[in-house]
Amino acid sequence: MKIAVLIKYCPDSEAAINVVSGKLDTSSAKFSVSPYDEYACEEALKIIESQGSGEAVVFNVGPEKNGKGLRDELARGADRAVHIVTEKEITCPEFTSRLLAAALKQENPDLILCGWKGIDYDLGITGTKVAEKLGIPHVMVVSKLTIADGKAICTRQVDSGDEIIEVPLPAVIGAQKGLNEPRYPSLKGIMKAKKKPASQITPAQLGVEEPTGKAMYTGFTFPPSKSAGKKFEGPESVVEVVRLLREEAKVI
């Protein structure tokens, strides 16, 4: 089974992000593969291990430096990388998904795994758009996945219980936390990653142009800083808490 994994290379969840005159400044941030995409890659490796054979191909769209993210996944165990190299970071999911869909068409994977959203812009749309462009089904926010008889059986946790959804393959599945516990890249894996095939293609080679008339980010601001919280202890403070909730916070 050939499994494609779509990975995004984002500022680390602990990275400090600055806003400079309405623009994001990530120049001092450490980048890493978005955690949801790590679940996706781990799931691909587990499926291949349980089936005894297969190929996991990791895909990324973005500037040269994103190659590091692809190499991290090769070190974890992915077999091959395809890097669609752009000059700058692409923040338009329509463009990203057109590029990915074009590259995926050339590869014809049996299954496409991705994170259900990136931890940077929190859009949660690229996987869905890729499925639409390829004309195949998709299930997002999946926390359990079983592959059998050309089908994917997906579990989605909802407030009141679990939804079980079955789709025929190929399909795009978006990983949610809880799907698995991603492995660490082993030291031998890090050495092997260097020798694994990694190809680079440009948007022009894929024949994809930047869409026009798309939504664009026009500015970023930080939320207003919160004032320090108040601490109440002991049953005797209940009356005071209720009074403050009513009079100060005006929530009851």
Partner 1 sequence: MDISCDNRMVREMARDFARNEIAPIAAQMDEQGHLDPGLIPKMAELGFWGIPWPEEYSGAGMDVMSYIIAVEEISRVCGSTGITLAAHTSLGTYPIAAFGTEEQKKKFLPPLCSGEYLGAMGLTEPGAGSDAGGTKTVAIRNGSDWILNGTKTFITNSEYAGSFVIAASTDPPAKTHGITAFIHERDIPGFRVGKHENKLGLRGSSTTELIYEDCRIPDSQRLGEVNKGFKVFMKTLDGGRISIGALALGIAQGAFNEALKYSQEREQFDQPICNFQGVQWMLAESATKLEAARHMVYHAARLYSRGESYHREAAMAKLFAAVAGREVCNDALQIHGGYGYIKEFPVERMYRDIKLCEIGEGTNEIHKMVIARSLIKDGYPRHDFE
Q: What residue ranges bind partner 1 (CB under 8 A)? A: 32, 68, 71-72, 75, 184-191, 193-194
Write the burial class of residue 88 (CB in 10 Å: 0-12 exposed, 13-18 middle, 19+ buried).
exposed
According to DSSP, the residues that pair with 163 across neighbouring strands are 156
* SS3 label, residue 233: coil
CA distances to 22, 86, 232 from 40, in Å: 33, 23, 43
Report, in Å, the least distance between residue 54 CB and partner 1.
22
Nearest to partner 1 of 2, 8 (CB atom): 8
Residue 220: CB partners within 8 Å, gap ≥ 6? 19, 22, 23, 24
Nearest to partner 1 of 184, 222 (CB atom): 184
Nearest to partner 1 of 30, 151 (CB atom): 30
Q: Would you say 132 and 166 are in contact if contact means Cβ atoms under 8 Å apart?
A: no
Report, in Å, the least distance between residue 45 CB and partner 1.
14
Nearest to partner 1 of 74, 99 (CB atom): 74
Nearest to partner 1 of 156, 183 (CB atom): 183
Report, in Å, the least distance between residue 31 CB and partner 1.
11
* SS3 label, residue 93: helix
Report, in Å, the least distance between residue 33 CB and partner 1.
11
Report, in Å, the least distance between residue 117 CB and partner 1.
22
